């Protein structure tokens, strides 16, 4: 494969790929795919594939965005919508999860949900001004009542909001999805003010300034070009090179769902996912590459052969509220798939080992994290 021979070993080792290099790799011809996969897989540091045993709890399903591919968001008038989950219900779910061995509390809420009157009223009734205050209280209650470690994913947040939530979270996250402003004019993001890439890049950068271990990634198949994929990956790479706080990158494939505006959009091909996962592995040093296992039941092992080294959160007690049609695989099944290709499955926490120190965590969370880590070592 000529493009691989044109990239020096030092470039590959250091993840120092240009936009032109990335584009060439994303356009790898079918006959050269196995070479690309082999090269990406050669960057694997060990034979361990990780996952986090979690419980997924949406605090509200209300959101200012109306993305063309989303089924998480609910209309405030929807009788089945979670307007604001009661604290007692959250704690009850956490305790059930704890008994099942979960160690991560994945707490989510729709972006700027408190701009909706019904959410404001629910918050005020509980004595809170906004979702950040309520989220802080829930995270604090999680720490006080269980051994689980909170990981909040709430989309675009201000610097001050993230600074506050850092006190009670072991890590946080938000998908960049794509850095292209063009997509704001398409079915994917035209009704989604929170998907302004400038706002999302700023949020990820603020997390870096605050030393928050962070998860981000891109969404493949929402109408982007390969050039926009390359630019998005480089945008994340620039943030990581500057701050060093990104612990994992998700390469998530768009899946069509009945009733969404993008219902009849084509899903990305397996070959395009192979190319993108492989490029991500080649581009990023010391950052895990994750592919959601519940969205790729039949192709999961292929991505392991592209260098992917993390399955992300897998829950034995809750569904994936973002992709409710896609059930989580059984952990034993994932262990079998992983072992079958000669790799080992290992549980991890919501924070990666290199961030378990007082540079990233306050004393209380650090001590709890160290204690919990011993339970899975």
C-alpha 172/C-alpha 310 separation (Å) is 17
Task: Tell me the longest C-alpha to C-alpha distance in the chain.
Answer: 64
54 conformational bin, left if phi > 0, alpha if psi -120 to 50, beta if neither = beta
Q: Check if the beta carbon of residue 296 is closer than 8 Å to that of residue 309.
A: no
Terminal CA-to-CA distance of the chain, rounded, Å? 41
C-alpha 345/C-alpha 47 separation (Å) is 9
C-alpha 48/C-alpha 289 separation (Å) is 12
Four-point Cα dihedral 318, 323, 326, 331, nearest 10: -50
DSSP class of residue 31? G
Q: Is 63 annotated as a binding residue?
A: yes
Label residue 283 exposed, middle or buried (CB < 10 Å: 0-12, 13-18, 19+). buried
Which one, of 175, 280, 275, lies nearest residue 218 by Cα?
175
DSSP class of residue 137? H
Q: Is 102 annotated as a binding residue?
A: no
Label residue 6 exposed, middle or buried (CB < 10 Å: 0-12, 13-18, 19+). exposed
Four-point Cα dihedral 53, 139, 178, 305, nearest 10: -10
Residues 6+ apart with CB under 8 A from 182: 228
User: In sequence order, what are the beta bridge partners of 57?
Assistant: 107
User: In sequence order, what are the beta bridge partners of 171?
Assistant: 151
Q: Is 67 annotated as a binding residue?
A: yes
C-alpha 329/C-alpha 332 separation (Å) is 8
Token digits of residue 139: 């995270």
Token digits of residue 311: 């399955």
Residues 6+ apart with CB under 8 A from 259: 71
Residues in binding site for [4Fe-4S] cluster: 63, 67, 70
Query: Which residues define the annotated binding site?
Result: 63, 67, 70
């Amino acid at each position: 494969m000529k493009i691989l021979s044109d990239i020096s070993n030092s470039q590959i080792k250091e993840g120092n790929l240009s936009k032109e290099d990335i584009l060439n790799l994303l356009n790898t011809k079918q006959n050269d795919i196995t070479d690309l996969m082999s090269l990406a897989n050669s960057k694997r540091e060990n034979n361990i594939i990780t996952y986090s045993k979690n419980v997924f709890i949406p605090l509200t399903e209300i959101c200012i965005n109306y993305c063309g591919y989303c089924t998480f968001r609910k209309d405030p008038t929807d009788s089945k919508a979670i307007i604001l989950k009661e604290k007692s219900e959250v704690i009850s779910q956490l305790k059930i999860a704890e008994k099942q061995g979960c160690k991560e509390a994945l707490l989510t809420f729709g972006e700027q949900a408190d701009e909706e009157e019904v959410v404001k009223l629910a918050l005020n009734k509980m004595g809170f001004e906004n979702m950040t205050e309520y989220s802080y209280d829930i995270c604090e209650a999680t720490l006080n009542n269980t051994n689980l470690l909170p990981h909040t994913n709430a989309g675009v947040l201000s610097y001050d909001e993230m600074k506050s939530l850092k006190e009670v979270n072991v890590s946080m996250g938000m998908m960049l999805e794509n850095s292209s402003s063009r997509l704001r004019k398409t079915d994917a993001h035209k009704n989604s003010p929170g998907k302004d890439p400038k706002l999302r890049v700023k949020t990820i950068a603020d997390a870096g300034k605050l030393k928050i271990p962070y998860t981000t990634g891109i969404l493949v198949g929402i109408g982007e070009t390969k050039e926009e994929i390359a630019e998005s990956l480089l945008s994340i790479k620039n943030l990581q090179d500057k701050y060093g706080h990104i612990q994992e990158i998700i390469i998530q494939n768009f899946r069509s769902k009945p009733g969404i505006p993008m219902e009849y959009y084509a899903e990305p091909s397996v070959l395009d996912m192979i190319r993108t996962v492989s490029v991500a592995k080649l581009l990023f040093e010391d950052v895990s590459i994750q592919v959601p296992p519940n969205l790729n039941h039949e192709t999961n092992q292929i991505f392991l052969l592209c260098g992917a080294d993390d399955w992300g959160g897998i829950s034995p007690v809750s569904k994936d509220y973002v992709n409710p049609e896609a059930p989580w695989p059984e952990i034993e099944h994932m262990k079998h798939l992983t072992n079958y290709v000669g790799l080992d499955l290992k549980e991890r926490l919501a924070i990666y080992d290199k961030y378990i120190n007082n540079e990233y965590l306050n004393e209380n969370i650090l001590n709890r994290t160290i204690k919990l880590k011993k339970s899975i070592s």
